[in-house]
Amino acid sequence: MGRFPNMEDINDSPIVRNGNSLILAYDHGTEHGPVDFEPMPKSADPTHVFDVGRHDAVTAIALQKGNAEYYRSWEKANGIDDGAPLLVKLNGNSNLAARDDYYSPKQCSVRYAVEELGADAIGYTMYAGSTHEDEMWKEFRDVQEAARKYGIPVVMWSYPRGKGIQNSEEYSGQTDPKVVAYGARLGLELGADVVKCKYPGTQDGWQQLEDVVGGMKTVMSGGSKRSDEAFLDDVYATIEVGGNGLAVGRNIFQRENPEGLLDKLEAVIFEGENPEEL
pTM of the prediction?
0.95
Q: Is 2 among the domain residues? A: no
Q: Is 1 among the domain residues? A: no
Which portions of the chain are predicted below pLDDT 70?
1-8
Model pLDDT, residue 168: 80
Model pLDDT, residue 8: 62
Residue span of the structural domain in which 36 resides? 10-277
Choose, from 196, 198, 217, 264, the residue flagged as catalytic.
196
Q: What's the number of domains the chain is made of?
A: 1
Q: Is 196 a residue of the active site?
A: yes
Q: Is 207 among the domain residues? A: yes
Q: Is 3 among the domain residues? A: no
Q: Is 37 among the domain residues? A: yes
CATH number at residue 248: 3.20.20.70
Q: Is 192 among the domain residues? A: yes
Q: Is 149 among the domain residues? A: yes
Model pLDDT, residue 129: 95
Model pLDDT, residue 171: 80
Q: Is 4 among the domain residues? A: no
Q: 190 CB contacts (<8 Å, ≥6 apart)?
A: 126, 137, 140, 141, 144, 156
